Structure 1
Amino acid sequence: GSGEQRENRGKLARLADELGIHEDFTMPGFKVNPYPYLRESAVFVLSSRFEGFGNVLVEAMLTGCSVVSTDCPSGPAEILRNGEFGRLVPVNDEASLADAICQTLDNPYNRDFLRARGRVFSVERAVESYRQVFFGPLSPDGLSRDVIQLDEKRNAASPPPPAPQAVPGEARK
């Protein structure tokens, strides 16, 4: 992202040079299509103090990239299921963050495991969840059981419509 890291970008780049990791380290900032970067990454780090949903965590997981995140309010703990799908560290605890990054580099999560978790947050899954809330589970033929039952009740409660009557003087078509 861009956030406060913009101010520290130069400092971080110099530190990467000093540590000799500048070739293995990137801070791409905002990218419309982050997936090529994430696919090539060994670990994605979210060091936010506050976060909305944390969609970037899901994007990283969908590529199979291991994740380390601060346990900030609103999202990371839910997405990572309290650490099952990525390491969570306290906000503003740089030592824990560094340790979690090293642990993840040494023992990355299974990429297929992460991809499966990422798919839990897909648009299709969200739509299906909302559909079930409003209409109930689907029957084998793909129709909502509640809608079928409502239609059956309506048909049972009302008599069938009368058969059409021929109007005198009109020819049949």
Structure 2
Amino acid sequence: MNHGWAKKKALTTHLEICGDYKMKLLIISEGYGRGGGDKVISDLSMHLPSDIETVIAAVKIDRPEDLFPYKGRLLHLPVRPTKFRFLRRTLEINKVIASEKPDIVLTFRRNYNYANILSLGRHKKIVSIHNYDADYFRTKGIRGEINKTLTRVLYNKSDLIIVLTGAMKDDLIKMFGIKPEKIKVIPNPCDIEHIQKLSTEKIEHTFFNTEEPIILNVGRLTRQKGQWHLIRAFNHVRQQLPCKLVIIGHGNLEGYLKRLVKDLGIEDESLFLGWQRNPFKYIDRSTLFVFPSLWEGFGLSLIEAMAIGCPVIASDCKYGPREILGNGEYGRLVPVCDGNFYDAEKPLTKEEEILAGAILELLVNKHVRENYIKMVKERVYEYEIHKVVNKYVDAFNSISGRA
């Protein structure tokens, strides 16, 4: 599928330079490998201007061949899973801060955000929320009250909070009393030019040698991603229209999903490809990209599918799809499925029926698909990597007094 649209000229990053001074950024995360959050760290390190020195520190680091590319140095944080893990984490973070002497520390994930805020030193503290963590937004019961108090008190002591969507910002203000001026919305970046280049690679798998439409999903095979709802909806669709299903990713639900496919009798029409370093060539060959997540922090794979020009159907989950798709203007939004596990014998739920109907409608209506393809061309550049990195640079300059 070659959509053949011209690439826009990439925006360039910028940084206010004060003499020969080089800003030092320390990024701290639980892990670094090939996850969605790791991709954001990779993109930042690779595209920040040379006037910013980047150091990445992580507790879990994958094998070198499984790492996303990065610029700067990658350090290991020796934090073992013990009863006093939070204390150990905070101590190790203080050690690396004392050693590296960064100007800014940027952390990912709640516990690392807490440790960043509690750390010692004169550095600026930026915390980020890059996923919808139910514990973040739990406000009921004793645990909820403790979490609410911790979040309100600690996060208001940070220099800046980065969130991915406006809806997440609104919830932090409303539910936890976070000061609005503390929060900046910066979406995940998308390297459009690189993705489009990778999408042109040849596919060897014979499953794609077909005239039948292909429905594709990319994501970890976990409860969050809700792929079993897609499988059940797909089974309903293919009874009315010949089509195929491709799922890219790995995870703890792989066995359940494959058993469901077998029990539904759709093994010949379904393909599990596992994790792929280049999923984009498969998206390019697909007719629809379907995103049935139960919750998200953003939904980067939606942007990546749009970068290739593939029409998308997404669940209207927290957070991301509604903002990315402009309230349904740039792709089809469907209700979030209930997240309950079902076997092959159970009838479709109401939400699964709606999902199946949306898939069938877009498969049979070429005009609607082509209209979505045209509309995503402009929309996706809101998330172009240099444009997003510039927002990070502006944030760094602002809190460091260099704006």
TM-score interval for Structure 1 and Structure 2 normalised by the shorter chain: 0.5 to 0.7
The residue number in structure 2 matching 1:94 is: 352
Residues 89, 27 of structure 1: alpha-carbon distance in 2 compared, 3 angstrom cutoff? farther
Deviation of the 1:14 alpha carbon = 5.0
Deviation of the 1:10 alpha carbon = 2.9
TM-score by length of 1: 0.66
Deviation of the 1:119 alpha carbon = 2.1
Q: 1:123 aligns with which of 369, 376, 385?
A: 385
Q: 2:279 aligns with which of 34, 38, 44?
A: 34
- Measure the CA separation in 2 of the matches of 1:55 and 1:78: 12
Q: Deviations over 1:61-89 (max 9, x none)?
A: 01110100110101000101110111111
Q: 1:105 aligns with which of 340, 350, 363?
A: 363
The residue number in structure 2 matching 1:8 is: 257
Deviation of the 1:29 alpha carbon = 4.1
- Measure the CA separation in 1 of the matches of 2:263 and 2:381: 37
Deviation of the 1:106 alpha carbon = 2.3
- Measure the CA separation in 1 of the matches of 2:376 and 2:264: 30
Counterpart secondary structure, 2:383: coil
Counterpart contact for 1:49–1:72, Cα < 8 Å: yes
Q: Which sections of structure 2, spanning at least 5 residues, go unmatched?
A: 1-218, 228-253, 338-350, 398-402
Percentage identity across paired residues of the two chains:
39
Counterpart secondary structure, 1:120: helix
- Measure the CA separation in 2 of the matches of 1:109 and 1:82: 19
Q: Based on CA coordinates, which of the two structures has the bigger radius of gyration?
A: 1
2:314 aligned with 1:69: yes
Q: Deviations over 1:129-150 (max 9, x none)?
A: 4556788xxxxxxxxxxx8xxx
Measured on the aligned residues, the alpha-carbon RMSD in Å equals: 2.7
How many residues matched?
Answer: 134
Amino acid at match of 1:12: V
Q: Which sections of structure 1, spanning at least 5 residues, go unmatched?
A: 136-146, 148-173
Counterpart secondary structure, 1:41: coil
Counterpart secondary structure, 1:28: strand
Counterpart contact for 1:85–1:109, Cα < 8 Å: no
Counterpart secondary structure, 1:44: strand
2:330 aligned with 1:85: yes
The structure with more helix, counted as a fraction of residues: 1
Amino acid at match of 2:354: S
- Measure the CA separation in 1 of the matches of 2:300 and 2:265: 27
Counterpart contact for 1:86–1:109, Cα < 8 Å: no
Amino acid at match of 2:283: L
Counterpart contact for 1:46–1:70, Cα < 8 Å: yes
